[in-house]
A and B are shown apart, each in its own frame.
Chain A
Amino acid sequence: MYKIRLNPTRPQVRRWDTSDLEQRQSASNDHIFATFDLAKIGMTLRHREDWMGEQDHRLELVARADLWRYLTGDTEFDIDWYHSRLARRAPLGEVAS
């Protein structure tokens, strides 16, 4: 097996065929415990690996949301509101140290 590693030098935003991106993007109120759509990207990104417990899985959801924000340029994208609830509370007070 031959392996080679490559570094990008330009942003990796929407470099693939994104013609169905808008159609498949999860709604802002998509949440696994409320309303959700199995056909949207949020459900794909909720995939769980064998090695993940509940807590690792939730941390991965946050990391995947970050990656999807970067890949699509959509800074509001979220999975199950982990980012959204933090953003909503952030202006209300200081972050504990």
Chain B
Amino acid sequence: MNVRWCRATVPTSSSPSELRGRPFAALATSTSRPGRFFTDPPRSAARAAAEIARDGSATLSLDPGSFQMIGEMGVDHFLAVTTDLGVDIFLPNKEEGEALTGETDPESIAAALSERFAGAMIVLKLDADGGAGARDGLATHVAGVGPERRRRHGCRRLVRRGVPGALAGRRRPDRGRPLREPGVGVGHPAHRCPTGAGPPPARRARRRLSRGAGRRSTIGPNRWDVRGDGHERVVDDRRDGDLRRTRGFLEFPGVIPDDLSAAATDELHAIMSTWGSANRPFAPSSGDGWDEIYPEPSAVEKRSLRHPSVRRIVDSLVGPEAVFDHDFVHFKPAGDPGFQPLHADAIIDPNTAFDIQIFYFPHEVHPDGGGTGFVPGTHLRRVHETRWADTGTCAASDAGQGRPVRSWSSTTGCGTAVWRTRGRSIG
């Protein structure tokens, strides 16, 4: 395999603009300082470097660097920002592979990863057990070597650095000599082995304690009997559920039947056309009981937002004794260039007890369709800034339209989201 390869570490403070014109032939994230790919700006810089590498037809390798970071990011999030890079060689260790796939057998991990990173060579590093490689769903295991042979060749970190080279047959153009000849197994006498002290004690301890990698928590207020059949279900799919509970919102696509949403849409148009006037139908007052507002024959509340599924969700967060605060109808016609900037939906709020807001989308919403956006994870911030995006902390608008944090659409074309207030939103 003839590749051009070099290693480029992206500094923590790097931004994409800093990389322009720099001679990256390829990109690899640093295993010793694994935070590069998990936060911005270094992530944007890393992605920009990957693009430069691709443009230069260089081989692109990616080492995820830390299963702890994958755990913090979430598997879906990690895959979302890495699988589109066009990675040629993916180099996880066993803990990272387990976290990303949920598999425990090395060949199963490698095979599963090769499906997620289509076209890439997967090299699963197994320390003293060698490594497992996979491509196009076909995996194989390469045995490791014992400590005596590693010592004889003066290499204590042989396996960790050796397996990728053994499978890729890569060359380091900066030194002009091969680390591995193609097809040569780990521990071949011809190898030039870097030396090192091995993983520190803390890392070994973490490995021993990491057997739960890949498992998903089911804890938290995301389990409801949404179908009313007496069986509680994790409403979110398991891959995303953990994240949503720490991000300040929960999403329930498709809980309201389409016919009820159609009736609610008609009523919402009537409410909006009479907003602020005495003719507004079903106008509630702040402090009214949640159960009392929008009485029959309102389609909005009685048939949609007090649908049994939604009622159970609301009760689990604020209880059946909750009271009405305020409501509003957001309607953006096609091509409307105006938008509301990011803002906190509260003043500075020192309370631990929290309100919720229900966002009801009675129709399908696409990412560029002008839906209301929300900056995940801002629900606990005790600050109040309008146009928070101007601080450079986050980007939030999309061509003059509020960018939803995700598509709210579902197979039935309507969805409901509930989040704790204080979060920054544009609506």
Contacts and interface: CB of A to CB of B under 8 A. Distances in A.
A20 interface: yes
Contacts of A67: 352, 354, 380
Contacts of B268: 2
B285 interface: no
Nearest to B289: A9
B72 A46 contact: yes
B23 interface: no
A64 B39 CA distance: 19
Residue of A2, A46, A49, A52 with most chain B CB atoms under a 10 A cut-off: A2
B39 A5 contact: no
Contacts of B406: none
Contacts of B17: none
B377 interface: yes
Chain A binding site: helix, strand, loop or mixed by DSSP? loop
Interface string A42-79: 01111111111100000010011011001100000000
A44 B75 CA distance: 12
Contact of A39 (B43, B205, B215, B318): B215
Given A44-B246, A47-B246, A64-B380, A3 B358 contact: yes
Contacts of A66: 352
Given A32-B68, A44-B246, A11 B209 contact: no
Given A20-B219, A38-B215, A39-B212, A70 B72 contact: no
Given A11-B353, A38-B215, A66-B352, A49 B376 contact: yes
Nearest to B217: A44
**What is the interface residue range for chain A against chain B?**
35 or more
Closest 5 CB pairs of A and B: A39-B212, A16-B221, A49-B377, A63-B380, A5-B325
Interface of B: 38-40, 43, 68, 71-74, 99, 202, 205-206, 209-210, 212-215, 217-224, 232, 242-243, 245-247, 264, 268, 290, 300, 305, 314-319, 321-331, 345, 352-362, 365, 371-372, 375-377, 380-381, 393-394, 421, 427
16 contacts: A1-B329, A1-B330, A1-B359, A3-B372, A4-B327, A6-B290, A8-B321, A15-B221, A20-B219, A38-B213, A39-B217, A41-B217, A48-B72, A51-B377, A51-B394, A52-B39
Interface of A: 1-12, 15-17, 20-21, 24, 32-41, 43-53, 60, 63-64, 66-67, 70-71
